[in-house]
Each structure stands twice: as C-alpha cells, then as structure tokens.
Amino acid sequence: MEKQYVIDEITVKDTWRLFHIMAEFVEGFENLADIEPAVSIFGSARCQKNDPVYEKAFKLSKLLGKNGFNVITGGGGGVMEAANRGAKEAGAKSVGINIELPFEQKPNPYTNVKLSFRYFFVRKVMFLKYAMAYIIMPGGFGTLDECFEAITLIQTKKVKPFPVILVDSAYWKGLIDWVQSTLLPMSKISKEDMGIIKIMDEPEEVVDYIKKFVIM
C-alpha cells in the first residue's frame, strides 16, 4: 500500500504540473499575441554597463526599435538589460521573459511587457514563436543553448528558416573555426548547414540584413 501511495502521489503532482505548464503557455500566448514583428536578443547576464558589448547591444536594439521591430530578451541584466533599454528608448515594445531560478535573476527595469516562467522549455517556445530573427551577442552556456536550438530546428526543418546572427566576429571565431575544422570535415554537419549562421559586427549591418530577410 505504501508503494502504491507513493506512485499515486507522484501521479497527482505530475498532473498538477501539466496544468501549470498549460497556464504558462496560455499566459505567453495572450501577452505576446500582438508583439510581431519582433527580434529575440540573447547574451550574457554578466556583461557590465562599461563593457563595449553592453553598448553595442543597446545601440543595436535601439536601431531595431527605430526600424519597426520590437525586442524580446530573457529579461535579466547585462546584454538583456541593454537590449530592453534600447528598445524602450526607441519607443518599441520591450519584452522581458524572465525565468524563475534557485538563485534569483532580477528583472531589469527597461521592459514594458513582462512575463515570468518556471519552465525553460515554455520560455524557449515564446522566444522562438514570436521572433523573426535571433541575435546572439557574446554569452555563456545559456546563450549557446538558445543559439544551437534555433540552428537545430532550422537544420531539421522543424521551423521555417530565419536569421540567426552571431554578433562580434572576434568572440565567435574560435567556435566557428572548430565547427568548420572538426564538424564539417567529419561529416557531422553538411556544408549547407553553415549557411544558417551569419556573423556580423556592426548594428547597422545586422538591421539591414534582417530587413532584407523579413517582409514587414
């Protein structure tokens, strides 16, 4: 009986977890229904205001806002803060999709559309569903996770192709060199897969590319 009780308790917990997951999807869909056209921007939360990457993210996001794009970030500090700040100053919708973590990720004050999720995979759906392009600024594991998930979905034709732009060629050089020198020669990816990724440095270049790719 004790074993059966434990199984039943787990089943009940899983059932209620499903309701919570559905509630998060509903909240996201309702709040982001009119957010398009939008661009998702990713990058390190550890980036400080005096870092050139912070300034570039701010400038790029502001330029996107002035060109009619709303901006979606993870809602935290660093690059996310810079991007939300730029969008807000440009008068665009500045979306922050925060995640509940064991160590608190403090939402930045520059969002005018705020969401908070418990589940990473629900959050990822929101980034992807409403973005016409992904901009990947210098960052760590979380940034790489978002980047490679988008590349994989495009590669496997689970989503329509969209721009995935790595900003700061010097930062991403080692990674791209490894992909080209290891994955490609060993046939782990195809030559065509390399075309999914674009590497750029200047905010104006990024915005012009997105404008050409996306029909507004």
Output the pTM of the full model: 0.89
* pLDDT band per the 50, 70, 90 thresholds, residue 5: very low
Beta bridge partners of 99: 117
* pLDDT band per the 50, 70, 90 thresholds, residue 12: low
The amino acid at residue 92 is A
* pLDDT band per the 50, 70, 90 thresholds, residue 15: confident
Query: Is residue 158 pLDDT above 60, yes or no?
Result: yes
The 10s digit of each residue's pLDDT in 74-127 is: 999 999 999 999 999 999 999 999 988 776 568 899 999 999 999 999 999 999
What percent of the chain has pLDDT above 70?
92
Q: For the chain, give every domain's residue range.
A: 2-213
Give residue 14's Cα distance to chain centre: 28
The 10s digit of each residue's pLDDT in 182-210 is: 999 999 999 999 999 999 999 999 999 99
φ and ψ at residue 2, rounded to 5 degrees:
-65, -40
149 burial via Cβ count (<10 Å: 0-12, 13-18, 19+): middle
Whether 96 and 84 have beta carbons less than 8 Å apart is answered as yes
- Return the pLDDT at 127: 95
Domain 2-213 has CATH 1.20.1250.20: no
